[in-house]
Structure 1
Amino acid sequence: MNKQMVFISYSQKDKERVSLFASLMAKNGFDIWMDVKNISLGEYIISAIAEGLSNVDIYMIFISHNSSKSPWVTEELNIALTKNIENKKPQIIPVLLDDCSIPSALSGRLYLDARESIQSALEQLYKNFRHIDVNSANTIISSQSPILTEVIFGLSKETDISIGPFCDGFTKDDLVNNREKVQRLLRKRANGILMNFVPLSDFDLQSPIPKYKNGVYDESVEKISGSTTSSICEKVMAKATVFNPDAKKLDELVKSKLDKLYVTSLSYIFSLPFQESDFDKRCMQRIQDNYSIISYDFEDGATIEYDSNFFVSIRCTPEQIQIKLQAEYDFTFSKKAVNFSPINFIGWLIKETL
């Protein structure tokens, strides 16, 4: 029986919560498409969106203060509404993330309320849209153990060229050309990673940037200090996110291939199928009681030195636990990461908190 294909429309600023929702849906039998909107809005992209919406069963729009300001979301909604009127497809399902107004074009439609809890919105989805075909819609709701729903491979590489003082012979154009070469290399590596988890039929083989079901690819560039005093080079960073990864394939890849893939960080996202009062605080208390915390911020959470020059960041919310692995020196990351078991760490973390 074919899976239902879902087009996810959202603001990049809401990516974390939307990705959690999407990964839980993928865990329960949906095919998810999340496009990264990192290029200018134009006629070609509009036609690509229209073609994409012609091939999905469900259009799910995540409504927030951020999405109300997004030209992408507005354009996708307009196209989806037109397709729905013409073809009775895709089915349109709004998901409310914030205390904000629902677009007038969606007024009167049944919506999912995710303002308080992603889990409750998923329960509402399965209750109110019973005709939607999923293989085991109650898996997450009935389970009482954290479930690995996402893994994020972080790749990075610096340009070989620096420009500035004492960098005679190199121009800005040389730096741009070298950066584009690094970008192509990381995209190839990201595609290599993803092809371990995603069937070839689910790839867009005509896209220069990795595009596939049940995951997201992101890319960014930052300027950093170059090889000589006052010079600059660029660091290209990519993230390949896989929803509902195959545990065996993931273990094989981490243990044998990370050093060949320019992977410099790994993040494991576990969803929590229960709502326990102050669970996130109790997890942080367990970290505090057993480790020296060397840093903390909202994005990564509490960072500890798990092994010499090897760091684990733990971020807990009422709905998920994120564990991010990094090394002080990128070239040592793969050797350190193979000795870390996220499953064992999660088991230890929640042992006395439930």
Structure 2
Amino acid sequence: MRQKRQKKIFLSYSHSDSEIALKIANDLNSSGINAWYDKWEINPGDSLIDKIFKEGLKDIDYFIILLSNSSVKSKWVNIELNSATISRIEGITKIIPILIEKSEIPLQLRSFLWIDLTENYQEGIKKLINSIHEIYDKPTIKNSRFTLLHDNIGTLSKVGTNIGIALIENQDFTLKYEKSYSGKRLLELTLFNEEEINEGIEELEENGLVKVQKYMGTGPFNFGTIEPTYMLFLYFKEVEQNYNPFEDIKIVAATVEAKKNISGPELMEVTKIPPVRINRASTYLEDFGIVNVKKYLGSAPFLFSYLTAKRKTKYFLQNPNVEI
């Protein structure tokens, strides 16, 4: 039988936090998780750059960063985080921030769900271990579908609300483009039948929350595929998401204002936001006339070639309460 590859875990921390870093590394090892901890891996005479970047950070599955007042100011920790962010964008690495001290969260980590060890260490370390082992506390599905449905959000029906939530819960930032769904896939993700899904998608389309592609031979569905728009994630802002869509919009607008003119690849490099989220933010800014947009062929995976600041960009940043 083919042996399953052991997951690679990298522990990033400031040396001021060595004591708790060692405790976490020992707890991970005791739980069958082989953490790359520099004091165990780097010997006298070794090259720090070779050991950390060519061995420690190469093809890691999980990048665990310990956040404290020292680590957020550490040059080494930030360099390691930048390397892990690139791997994350490429779909290789998952970043798990661990709060070990009340401190300011770095900008590129604010959209992540972090684990807080400052209140209850044992509970927090259990969450971390379960996450790496992919053990979740998801309850057993009951027979009654109505007990599983979310309450209506805004003016949407229960069907429209729950289809929207299913789209949010199944988004994938490793993809370069917005994820699309067929009617058959929505049947698998929700508790609704074909007729209810048709009605729900029609409602979401009327509210500008999804884009619908229609073509022949898609029965019993009235559509071929659908994909969410940026409006969906803003409309469902009260639902727990793994990022803040309006925060992305403000970050992109601030970067455009600072650079005055910027391309998609440059924007991703500066903000560390993946392409699919940059596209959502830029489309919002374009629709509301907050930036000027230039579009040429060959700009994929971005929906634009350049974003340019204008008078309204600065006004928006000074008055960001225009969120919908």
Q: Which has the higher contact order (CA 8 A, sep 6+)?
A: 1
TM over 0.5: no
Structure having the larger proportion of residues in helix: 2
